[in-house]
Chains A and B, each alone.
Chain A
Amino acid sequence: MGHLRIRNIGKAYKHYGRKWGRLAEWLGSGPRHDLRWVLRNVSFDVSPGEAMGIVGVNGAGKSTLLKIVTGTTKPSTGTVETGGRISALLELGMGFHPDFTGRQNAFMAAQLQGFTAAEVEARIGEIEAFAEIGDYFDRPVRIYSSGMQVRVAFSVATAFRPDILVVDEALAVGDAYFQHKCFQRIREFQEERTTLLIVSHDPSAIQSLCSRAVLLDDGMVIRDGNPEEVMDFYNALIADRENSTVALRQLENGKIQTVSGTGAACVSSITLRNGKGEPVEYVNVGEPVTLDIEVTARKDLPVFVLGYMIKDRLGQTMYGTNTWHTKQVLRDVRANDSIRYRISFPMNLGPGSYSVSTALTDADTHLANNYEWRDLALIFHVANADRNYFIGSNWIEPRIEVDRSCGSSPGSGTSGTGCCY
């Protein structure tokens, strides 16, 4: 139970040049379509109880692969062999009817997984308890917050331990408390030998849950190995594309880059490098990094200052400074001069996603003479791969001394009102 054997999976979508092509084919004409392959020759085995991560850029074919594994989509070539029941946490809360209560919807969702009314009846109490939404469970879903809906949906989707659990990034929803509970439940399943298949862009999720990962690119498996190695390769792959597709990347996360200024100078390239000088997108907490910024002047500039700022995903500044404050102001920069700044620092930030903004000016504020101001010039992620678990946006590593002797020697002078009761 729980094994997954994927052999030479390929998926091609038919594309008809003409609208009536398909009808002509039905009526017996020769093929009128060409095939668009989104997956090719994907093969891997997952053994029972193993946790497999699937990574890849958008459009690499991850979702299609998951759909084939869960059985909603048929592969064009190859076979999928699954041992046991598959449950998928793909789109949580989909198909909930707003006018029905959480309980009614939970019933329906469980029946849609193929359980009988009696089986669901036996578990509905657990589902209700896990969701922890109190009286709302018996109120119509239309008055739920999106978080409550997710809670009910997750509870139903995981009410019966599956042999294979497919998890899409959807998991990053709900509040921190519930997310924690979700991960807890997934780990429990794993201990009971449920096989996991996880798609995520979050390296910390992949690294903490998975024992193996595959990297998909352009529909093919280009790496299969331990998660760390695969994530490194993924980073490199992304960095490689950096130069050509910067603009696209901005669109992908839904943010819009702001560039303003006179244009008298511009940032021509910006890269984050790790200790070995390799371009990276994912950085470990505390890792020494270098921010490599190349600036090109378009006009003669008497005074030149570079500033940069690191912001978290909410836009709060984590750190920022400029070369005026560091007393590295440049004078008499000529048109077409190229200047390279290497800014080295340890990545003492907490896990999360951050952006870098750059400013090119002639003084300590960009308001004076703003050559160029560029928001979201670079986006990177910090992951906690090997440090002790912590929360927050800074890495302030403590040294904690623990003293258990207090109170154990009743004769000592400070006994009584001290630390222990």
Chain B
Amino acid sequence: MISLGMLRDVWKFRDFMWGAVKREFQARWTGTQLGAFWVVAQPLATILIFTLIFSRLINPSLPGHSSRFAYSIYLCSGVLTWNLFAEMLGRSVSIFVENANLLKKIRFPKLCLPIIVLTSSILNFAVILSLFLLFLVLVSAFPGVVVLAALPVLLIQAGFAIGLGILLATVNVFYRDIQQIVQIVLQFWFWLTPIVYAVNQLPGTARDLMSWNPMWRLVQAYQDIFLGHRLPEWSALGYPALLALFFLGLGMFAYHRLQGEIVDEL
């Protein structure tokens, strides 16, 4: 399915992809006076709101954690990583439709497009993650070396998002309802995942159903790392990892089968 030639083609366009990522960032600050500051300002605001409001104004208590910042950290570990997932999935689903003109007129590996989305989302996330880590250091809640355990979790999450993204992006070319549905599903999915609330606040049956939600496992891993300062339960991540592989495979399969028709349909 993924032939070596295909990867070589994509690799040949690495400068284009990197250029496109840079351009995406530049586009956000060309014409502004403060330039790159705006790339940092948005995530800074998010972190400040979560940390200040939930540690000073409203301070929900989290069972088992006494720190004033416990809930803020809990919320950030979930929301920030969820946003990465939502950005990756939400943007990749419409990637072929949005670039219809380019795809119809210029010959280049189409797979460059999801890779551009992947890279720029990760860079965006890197900015906000650094701010979050800085905050953890400032309130002396930095988890230490355990923080590296977040990398494999991120890898699984990115694989899941992009696999599902390519699959849905391909289908979306033929049935554009998909991109509408995805935006709505993402909203429900957010609230169906214990990000804002804790899983033990749920009744038993809901908790049983929750184990089917791959995002819960991932979010839980982040919460373990950033709030609990402990390694995630690796066995619990088997399910999302398998799902990520499954969707990557299915996504590539669908893309491979339909790539000729994608351009015809656009």
How far is B32's CA from A99's CA once the two chains are assembled, in angstroms?
12
**Contact in complex: A72, B105 (CB < 8 Å):** yes
Residues A112 and B106 in contact in the complex (CB < 8 Å), given A23-B175, A104-B23, A117-B15: yes
A-B contact count (CB 8 A): 74
Closest chain A residue, CB of each to CB of B104:
A72
Which candidate, B66-74, B216-224, B257-265, is the interface stretch facing chain A? B257-265
Q: How far is the CB of A28 from chain B (nearest CB, A)?
A: 13
Whether, in the assembled complex, A188 has its beta carbon less than 8 Å from a beta carbon of chain B, the answer is no
Q: Does B234 contact A (CB under 8 A)?
A: no
- Asked if A108 is at the interface of the complex by the 8 Å CB criterion, the answer is yes
Interchain CB contact under 8 A, A114 and B105: no
Contacts of A88 in B (CB 8 A): 105-106
Is B174 part of the contact surface with A, judged by Cβ < 8 Å? yes
Interface string of B84-117 (1 = CB under 8 A from A): 0000000000000000011111111000000000
Chain A contacts of B105 at CB under 8 A?
Answer: 72, 88, 90-91, 94-95
Q: Which residue of A lies closest to B257 (CB)?
A: A26
User: Is B64 an interface position by the 8 A CB rule?
Assistant: no
Q: Given A99-B31, A104-B23, check contact A116 B263 (CB 8 Å).
A: no
* CB of B60 closer than 8 Å to a CB of A: no
Select from chain B the residue with minimum beta-carbon distance to A11: B264
Contact with A along B10-26 (1 / 0, CB 8 A): 00111110111001001
Report whether A100 and B12 are in contact in the complex, using a CB–CB cutoff of 8 Å: no
Chain B CB within 8 A of A84 CB: no
Give the residues in chain A near B260, CB-CB below 8 Å.
Answer: 73-74
Q: Check: B30 CB closer than 8 A to any chain A CB.
A: yes
In the complex formed, the residue of B with least CB distance to A16 is: B174
Shortest Cβ distance from B174 into A: residue: A22
Question: A14 contacts B16, CB within 8 Å?
Answer: no
In Å, the complex CA distance between A235 and B78 comes to 70
Known: A108-B19, A115-B15. A14 touches B106 (CB 8 A): no
The contact of A72 among B12, B261, B263, by CB within 8 Å, is: B263
Cβ of A108 and Cβ of B27 under 8 Å apart?
A: no
**Minimum Cβ distance to chain A for residue B252 (Å):** 16
B102 pairs with A95, CB closer than 8 A: yes
- Is A99's CB under 8 angstroms from B27's CB? yes
Q: Which A residues are CB-close (under 8 A) to B259?
A: 74
Of B12, B106, B261, chain A has the most CB atoms within 10 Å of the CB of B106
Interface residues of B in 122-175 (CB under 8 A from A): 174-175
Give Cα A115–Cα B14 distance, bound, in whole angstroms.
9
Q: Is chain B's binding surface mostly helix, strand, loop or mixed?
A: helix
The answer to whether A73 and B101 touch (CB under 8 A), given A114-B16, A115-B15, A117-B15, is no
A112 and B31 within 8 A (CB)? no
Q: Kindly state the separation between the CA atoms of A320 and B73 in the bound complex, as whole angstroms.
A: 86
Query: Which listed residue (B15, B23, B103, B104) contacts A116, Cβ 8 A?
Result: B15
Question: Given A73-B264, A108-B19, A114-B108, are A95 and B27 neighbors across the interface (CB < 8 Å)?
Answer: no
Instruction: Determine the chain B residues whose CB is within 8 A of the CB of A345 once the complex forms.
Output: none
Indicate whether A357 reaches chain B with its CB closer than 8 angstroms: no
On chain B, the number of residues with a Cβ less than 8 Å from chain A's Cβ atoms is 28
Q: How far is the CB of A11 from chain B (nearest CB, A)?
A: 9
Instruction: Say which size band chain A's interface belongs to.
Output: 20 to 34
Q: Which residues of B contact A71 (CB under 8 A)?
A: 107
Q: Is the CB of B263 within 8 A of A114?
A: no
Contact in complex: B264, A72 (CB < 8 Å): no
Which chain A residues lie closer than 8 Å to B15 at the CB level? 111, 115-117, 120
**Nearest A residue to B101, CB-CB:** A94
> Which residues of the partner chain A approach B18 to less than 8 Å between Cβ atoms?
117
| B24 (CB) vs chain A CBs: closest residue | A97
Q: Is the CB of B264 within 8 A of A117?
A: no
A residues 77-93 touching B (CB-CB < 8 Å) = 86, 88, 90-91
Asked whether B264 lies within 8 Å of A14 as measured between CB atoms, the reply is: yes
Assess whether A137 is interfacial by the CB under 8 Å rule.
no
Nearest A residue (CB) for B261: A14
- Among A72, A91, A99, A120, the residue within 8 A (CB) of B103 is A72
Write out, one digit per residue, whether chain B residues 223-266 have a CB within 8 A of any chain A CB (1) or not (0): 00000000000000000000000000000000000011101100
Give 9 closest A-B pairs by Cβ, nearest first.
A74-B260, A111-B16, A71-B107, A117-B15, A116-B15, A99-B30, A111-B19, A72-B107, A111-B15
Known: A14-B264, A112-B108. 12 other contacts (CB 8 A): A13-B264, A23-B175, A67-B104, A72-B105, A72-B107, A72-B263, A73-B260, A94-B105, A104-B26, A112-B13, A114-B16, A117-B15
A-B contact list, 25 entries, CB within 8 Å: A14-B261, A23-B175, A71-B107, A72-B103, A72-B263, A88-B105, A95-B101, A95-B102, A95-B105, A97-B23, A100-B26, A100-B27, A107-B19, A108-B16, A108-B20, A108-B23, A111-B19, A112-B102, A114-B12, A114-B13, A114-B16, A116-B15, A117-B15, A117-B18, A117-B19
- Interface set of B (CB-CB < 8 Å, partner A): 12-16, 18-20, 23, 26-27, 30-31, 101-108, 174-175, 259-261, 263-264
